[in-house]
Structure 1
Amino acid sequence: MDRFLRKKMFDLFKQQPWLAHREEKLNKLIDMCDDISDIDMIFDLLSRFKYVGIESLSIHLRDIVDHINEEFGEEAFSFQLCAATADGDADSGQSILYAFKSEPISEILLEDFILTNSLSRAIKIMDQRKNIILLDEFAGTGETIVSRIKSIRGREKELKNKNNHNFSCKVSVCLVAAMDSAVELIKKYADDVYSSIVLKKGITDEVDFNKRDVSIFRMLSLEESFVKDKKFYRLGYGQSEALYFREKGNIPNNVFPVFWSKNKIDDKNWKPLFYRKE
């Protein structure tokens, strides 16, 4: 690597120190680029990644708890804090719910709230705790959260028809991070939405208008180096163009796949910048 690129890389590490231990993988990604313009685009995107480390996650969780206490504290006895998980399988929603049990977070959360580890469990006890706050780490398109809300509304309708025509529930959604388009979609279905971090599309919303189309073309060209299986999403799932990563977390498939796809054509030893567990 020439001195110019080394300088660019160290400048990037100054902005994003957490990338420094990924230098070898980053070099592989640079080698994949066709020219300096591709490299500049990759470096620009990485410089704008929203990285959530262990300490900053605690800050964002406190922010969410403050919102919950302020908005729903007087009705805490009627609320469940529920992982936005369909069943008991481990996922990001479960990890956020578990973090709510940690000492610094549980100390500031009002005691009347109860924690429920899956939506299926939350729905079963809606006749006792009718209001639900869905917790998750990240919303890329908002589609998954909306499907969870629809399940809750279906149960609400059942209870209204069966027992009490006046029965109604509140559904709130609290997220560590979300794309702004996801927040807007969820707002159409939930009574309240709060995301501690709100992100825009990495190219479409953040790159200068005169360079936007060229940047999209360059990214799509880089994506041609990867196998297009059913888990490969151009520009990220839902074309989200997300730039987000949580330390010790599973990088969302809404992020540009050049950063996480394991299936590079003609390179069985390829190791992406970020590991993603499907």
Structure 2
Amino acid sequence: MADEEIPRASEAMSRELFGTLVQLTRQQPWLIQRSEELYDTVSVCDDEAQTNLIVDLISRFHFRSAQQNLEDRREIASKISKDWGCVPENTMLIALQDNACADSTSAAVQQLKGPLAAYAEWKTHNFISSLGEVVDRAKEDSIIVIVDDFCGSGETISKKVKWLREKLVEAGKNAIIGVAVSSAMEQSKDVICPFVDEFFAVHWLKKGIRDHYSGQSAMDAIALMESIEGKLGDRYGSKKLEKYKFGWKQSEALCYLEGENPPNNNFPIFWWRKLKSNADRTALLPRV
């Protein structure tokens, strides 16, 4: 793809912008490995106001390294074992997966084995990757804990929990259901809490614009982001941008877990790979 086909900032990088990006990289060291992607992201911006917004959002990204992810799983294991009193005899750790495609929840279940082993003699059968198996295995006193790395809008979890409770009722069973995740958007509480007995997140995240700015500043930031997203292609693969404006369900997430597929709850400017001209762009976050 020739450079002239990709919209760029009208001016070369100024000394001030260079200094800003260097400082941003110091705040967010994970950007060191994504310097080209970082510059391509700010290059989409037309003016200083748009650039300042993007820089501010990136500076507040919730980044978790592989080691920090392990520490989060240890906190989840402690919450499940110590605070919730879960024991191997009546507890199932489950993923929300209900189709043949791999997803993050299966990995999250698998990666809890080590941290939980510090508290009790958990067995392989305590960790279930398919939602469909849970109803058959559930007993009257079962505790079912749904685990994941990230919860955005809460829509997926709430729908799956409703389905699970309905199937348990049909089978004449009842169970305590909890949700434990590494990071979650605060907005998901209102969606999930009515359907579960416990909901725990190691980190509660706020919306990048509406929960950070207020008054006229918020209105200005929203208008700026609308202008920035207007530079993106209407479609990306089978996805339509209109469904992901300000992130899925307008989550306005700023979250990146090292080595994981970034959630589509993030602002699309950070992961959408098409420009309005249908030219490819290098997104800051690599998302499948």
Same fold (TM over 0.5): yes
> Which residue pairs with 2:271 in the alignment?
260
Segments of structure 2 that go 5 or more residues without pairing to the other structure are 1-12
The correspondence of residues 221-236 of structure 1 with structure 2, limited to 5 A, is 221-229=227-235, 230-232=239-241, 233-236=244-247
**Paired amino acid for 1:99:** Q
> Would the alpha carbon gap of residues 129 and 96 (structure 1) be closer, same or farther in structure 2, given more than 3 Å must change?
farther
Distance 1:245 1:67 in 2: 23
Distance 2:200 2:157 in 1: 13
How far has the Cα of 1:128 moved from its partner?
7.8
Distance 1:153 1:47 in 2: 41
Q: Select which of 191, 194, 197 maps to 2:203.
A: 197
Query: How many pairs were matched up?
Result: 269
How far has the Cα of 1:129 moved from its partner?
7.4
Distance 1:89 1:29 in 2: 30
How far has the Cα of 1:88 moved from its partner?
4.8
The correspondence of residues 104-183 of structure 1 with structure 2, limited to 5 A, is 105-112=115-122, 114-127=126-139, 130-160=142-172, 167-183=173-189
Moved more, 45-54 or 105-114: 105-114
> Would the alpha carbon gap of residues 127 and 89 (structure 1) be closer, same or farther in structure 2, given more than 3 Å must change?
farther
Q: Select which of 240, 249, 252 maps to 1:238.
A: 249
- 1:2-36, CA deviations, whole angstroms, 9 ceiling, x for partnerless residues? 21111101110111010122111111122210101
Distance 1:110 1:148 in 2: 28
How far has the Cα of 1:269 moved from its partner?
3.5
Q: Does 1:275 align with 2:283?
A: no
Identical-residue share of aligned pairs (%): 30
Alignment TM-score, normalising by the size of structure 1: 0.91
SS of match in other structure, 1:13: helix
Moved more, 1-10 or 120-129: 120-129
Distance 1:50 1:3 in 2: 27
Cα RMSD (Å): 1.7
- 1:214-264, CA deviations, whole angstroms, 9 ceiling, x for partnerless residues? 101110111111122344211000000000000110111100000000121
The correspondence of residues 71-90 of structure 1 with structure 2, limited to 5 A, is 71-73=83-85, 75-90=87-102
How far has the Cα of 1:208 moved from its partner?
3.8
Q: Contact 1:83–1:94 at 8 Å: present in 2 too?
A: yes
Segments of structure 1 that go 5 or more residues without pairing to the other structure are 161-166
SS of match in other structure, 1:55: helix
Distance 2:230 2:287 in 1: 19
- 1:185-232, CA deviations, whole angstroms, 9 ceiling, x for partnerless residues? 211110000011100100000124331011011101111111223442
- 1:164-185, CA deviations, whole angstroms, 9 ceiling, x for partnerless residues? xxx4210000111110010232
Q: Contact 1:88–1:117 at 8 Å: present in 2 too?
A: no
**Paired amino acid for 1:249:** E
How far has the Cα of 1:106 moved from its partner?
4.1
Moved more, 23-32 or 170-179: 23-32
